[in-house]
Amino acid sequence: MISRISALVDALARLNGCHDPASRAYKNRNPLLLKAFSEKHIRDADGYRIFSSWAAGYNNSENDLQIKCNGKSHSKLQTTDTLKDLVKFFGSDGSATRGVKNFIRHALNRDDVYENTPLSFFVEDIEKLGE
């Protein structure tokens, strides 16, 4: 079973062309195009993190979204903010939310994901998956 947060990472990574060898997301092994904030982080000329492997980039992306969807990041996103707000936060036009929503609906086999779905929805199943 795929977690909601993983489906969200996959949908946003797809927007970044994560499987296109010409894309920054692919070259940097950074599906969400996370920025480097620590001096310890390896970065490209534009400040995007470069990960040593796809798994490392993916795991960091999941962790980043868990923090954001829990409303605990410095980004000022709250649990009541929506999927559309998150898509805009990551730099995509709000119209891209429809594709993200549809991807998540198919990945999770659920029809109850909407553009106005609160971010809290994406972290609700994390504890259950560990059982």
pLDDT for 80-96, tens place per residue?
999 999 999 998 888 99
> pLDDT: is 125 or 71 the higher one?
71
The pLDDT of residue 126 is 63
Residue 48 in this model has a pLDDT that exceeds 60: yes
Beta bridge partners of 82: 118
Query: How confident is the prediction for the chain on average, in pLDDT?
Result: 93
Give the integer Cα–Cα distance in Å for 62 and 103: 17
Give the integer Cα–Cα distance in Å for 39 and 41: 5
Give the integer Cα–Cα distance in Å for 67 and 34: 13
Residues 69 and 5 sit within 8 Å (Cβ to Cβ): yes
* Percentage of the chain lying above the pLDDT 70 cut: 95
Give the integer Cα–Cα distance in Å for 44 and 24: 9
Range of the domain at 119: 4-129
For the chain, what is the domain count? 1
> In 21-115, where does DSSP find H-type helix?
24-27, 54-69, 83-89, 97-108
Residue 68 in this model has a pLDDT that exceeds 60: yes
pLDDT tens-digit profile of 7-44? 999 999 999 999 999 999 999 999 999 999 999 999 99
